[in-house]
């Protein structure tokens, strides 16, 4: 059964990394409902992407591992539901360090 | 890479990524600006770590203990060995593990050579066109141990009918492969060599003679109904008899590079690989045209070993221009083309599953012998069984590059076959009667 998941990704901020993360999802037809990506405050060499996805529990586990296989990605963590996404979004809107 | 100063570090990083973890190709994109730029000094420093990349998992002894527990209580355990065993250099560890625990070993297409084909515990070749025993017994075992393999669809057939009765241990260096297709009861996320060494120490010494015998029994059915007819045919020449003869003469010790299609399956079935890293094929990528350039690479890498490229008539023309490279660098590879004047594997599917509606599979081929001679390569064509032995002898004994074309039956099929959508136990030994 499909549901919402918040996927948080920490990565080195190299050119095209966001593109490759999204490609992993596109190839598996995983729906991206919302996406927030930014450089780490005070360190442009690393960054974070937070995605709100709509998919199955099987698929979220698979894409987590596939995204972690990307060389620049340090970690990908997911939680069920959208509350974490909106929490992080709000902090980002308020220009808080997240 | 947009600046010249970044080229050397990028190349160093690429080699590190290519050779570690689950090895594989790396693309480096260097802009023309960077290529033309002059820099003071290009220092090449070997790359030994990347902050965000952890190629080698740490072996968890808890996982090993859980796996050993399942192995010790299993009565019909069964090992599927893949290319991971070869890449980690774990063939000897696999043999030691199998000999101590008495577990039969089957190899995937890319895993061929990981376990000697003449070993008493060798169960056979797995997969869509694999042997009868290893496929049927997948659904009879009580414990399935996948080592350095990824439960590809050519191995599993219909996943819903795959080893439902068995518990599964999956040993793999790539975390993304674990639980991807087949859920593992125990996953060992580790390098195959380390995992096998640790497991051998923790498993009981056991034998499973009846279980081993069931593989031999099933494979003997296949021998009667398929293999014997393939290697001792009447009428037209078959691919199988050619590979069988070459296998006997070379004692299974040459490096065999195969392309994609019927000849690839026949070569994998009938060449009796004895040593690790002697079979090279493109596996899941399924790239026709792979064999000729890959054979050149194999010969450059192992100049002292005999390298035989086995290619179909369709695939040969896809990279036929490499004959120019072979000529220029005088690379003494053996090129065997098994010519049925068809894209044989596609034709086989069209025959069996699309009511013989042949669509763009019949080939009008050039004169391969004259084509090779144009490149200065000595070449021979065989159309008759009486000429075959002599031609193979000349082919294998030649010092220089040598080409041999064998014209085989146009509409021969490769069996056994697990039709797409069927379970592994539904493997066919011959075409279904309509």
Report the C-alpha gap between B281 and B174 in whole angstroms. Answer: 21
**Is pLDDT above 80 for A98?**
no
Number of other residues whose CB lies within 10 A of the CB of residue A83: 11
Q: How far A70 CA lies from chain B's nearest CA (Å)? A: 8
Q: Name the closest residue on chain A to residue B175, using Cα atoms.
A: A65
- Asked if the Cβ–Cβ distance from A69 to B174 is below 8 Å, we say yes
From the list B17, B52, B180, the residue facing A73 with the nearest CB is: B52
Q: Given this model, what pLDDT does residue A95 score? A: 75
The two beta strands, B378-382 and B402-407, are parallel
Whole-number Cα distances in Å, B410 to B163, B269, B313, B345: 36, 19, 11, 11
Report the C-alpha gap between B70 and B59 in whole angstroms. Answer: 18
Q: What percentage of residues in chain B have a pLDDT greater than 90?
A: 97
Residues 6+ apart with CB under 8 A from B131: B106, B123, B124, B125, B218, B219, B222, B269, B416
Tokens of B241: 């008899």
Q: How far A97 CA lies from chain B's nearest CA (Å)? A: 22
Three-state secondary structure call for residue B121? coil
Number of other residues whose CB lies within 10 A of the CB of residue B362: 12
Q: Quick one: DSSP state of residue B226?
A: I
pLDDT mean over A38-65: 93
pLDDT mean over B22-47: 93
Q: Given this model, what pLDDT does residue B399 score? A: 95
- Asked if the Cβ–Cβ distance from B176 to A11 is below 8 Å, we say no
- Asked if the Cβ–Cβ distance from B52 to A71 is below 8 Å, we say yes
Report the C-alpha gap between B142 and B126 in whole angstroms. Answer: 17
Tokens of B339: 């010519």
Residues of A in contact with B50 (CB under 8 A): 71
Residues 6+ apart with CB under 8 A from B244: B230, B231, B270
- Asked if the Cβ–Cβ distance from B176 to A65 is below 8 Å, we say yes
**Is pLDDT above 80 for A48?**
yes
Q: What percentage of residues in chain B have a pLDDT greater than 70?
A: 100
A19 burial (CB, 10 Å; 0-12 / 13-18 / 19+) is: exposed
């Amino acid at each position: 059964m499909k549901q919402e998941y918040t996927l948080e990704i920490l990565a080195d901020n190299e050119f095209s990394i966001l593109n490759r993360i999204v490609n992993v999802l596109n190839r598996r037809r995983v729906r991206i409902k919302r996406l927030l990506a930014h450089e780490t405050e005070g360190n442009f060499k690393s960054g974070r992407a937070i995605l709100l996805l709509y998919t199955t529990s099987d698929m979220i586990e698979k894409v987590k591992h596939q995204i972690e296989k990307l060389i620049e990605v340090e970690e990908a963590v997911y939680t069920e539901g959208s509350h974490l996404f909106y929490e992080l979004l709000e902090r980002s809107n308020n220009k808080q360090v997240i | 890479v947009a600046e010249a100063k970044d080229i050397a570090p990028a190349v160093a990083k690429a080699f590190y990524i290519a050779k570690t973890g689950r090895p594989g190709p790396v693309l480096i994109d260097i802009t023309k600006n960077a290529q033309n730029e002059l820099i003071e000094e290009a220092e090449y420093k070997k790359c030994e770590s990347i902050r965000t990349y952890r190629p080698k998992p740490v072996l968890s002894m808890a996982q090993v203990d859980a796996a050993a527990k399942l192995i010790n209580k299993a009565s019909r355990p069964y090992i599927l060995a893949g290319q991971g065993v070869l890449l980690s250099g774990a063939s000897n560890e696999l043999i030691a593990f199998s000999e101590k625990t008495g577990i039969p070993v089957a190899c995937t297409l890319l895993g061929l050579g990981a376990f000697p084909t003449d070993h008493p515990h060798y169960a056979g070749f797995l997969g869509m066109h694999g042997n009868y025993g290893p496929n049927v017994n997948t659904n009879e075992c009580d414990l399935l141990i996948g080592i350095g393999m990824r439960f590809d669809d050519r191995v599993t057939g219909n996943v819903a009918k795959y080893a439902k009765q068995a518990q599964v241990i999956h040993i793999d260096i790539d975390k993304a492969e674990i639980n991807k297709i087949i859920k593992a009861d125990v996953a060992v996320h580790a390098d195959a060599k380390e995992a096998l060494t640790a497991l051998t120490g923790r498993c009981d010494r056991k034998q499973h003679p009846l279980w081993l015998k069931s593989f031999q029994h099933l494979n003997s059915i296949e021998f009667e109904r398929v293999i014997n007819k393939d290697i001792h045919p009447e009428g037209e020449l078959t691919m199988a008899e050619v590979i069988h003869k070459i296998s006997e003469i070379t004692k299974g010790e040459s490096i065999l590079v195969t392309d994609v299609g019927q000849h690839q399956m026949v070569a994998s079935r009938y060449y009796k690989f004895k040593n690790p890293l002697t079979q090279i094929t493109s596996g899941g990528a399924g790239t026709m045209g792979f064999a000729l350039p890959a054979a050149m690479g194999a010969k450059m890498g192992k100049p002292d070993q005999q390298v035989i490229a086995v290619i179909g008539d369709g695939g040969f023309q896809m990279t036929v221009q490499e004959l120019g490279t072979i000529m220029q660098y005088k690379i003494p590879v053996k090129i065997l083309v098994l010519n049925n004047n068809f894209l044989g594997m596609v034709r086989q599917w069209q025959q069996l599953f699309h009511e013989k509606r042949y669509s763009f599979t019949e080939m009008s081929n050039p004169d391969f012998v004259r084509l090779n001679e144009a490149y200065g390569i000595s070449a021979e064509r065989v159309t008759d069984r009486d000429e075959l032995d002599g031609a193979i002898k000349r082919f294998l004994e030649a010092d220089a590059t040598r080409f041999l074309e064998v014209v085989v039956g146009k509409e021969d099929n490769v069996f056994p076959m697990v039709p797409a959508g069927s379970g592994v136990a539904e493997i066919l030994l011959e075409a279904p009667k309509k």
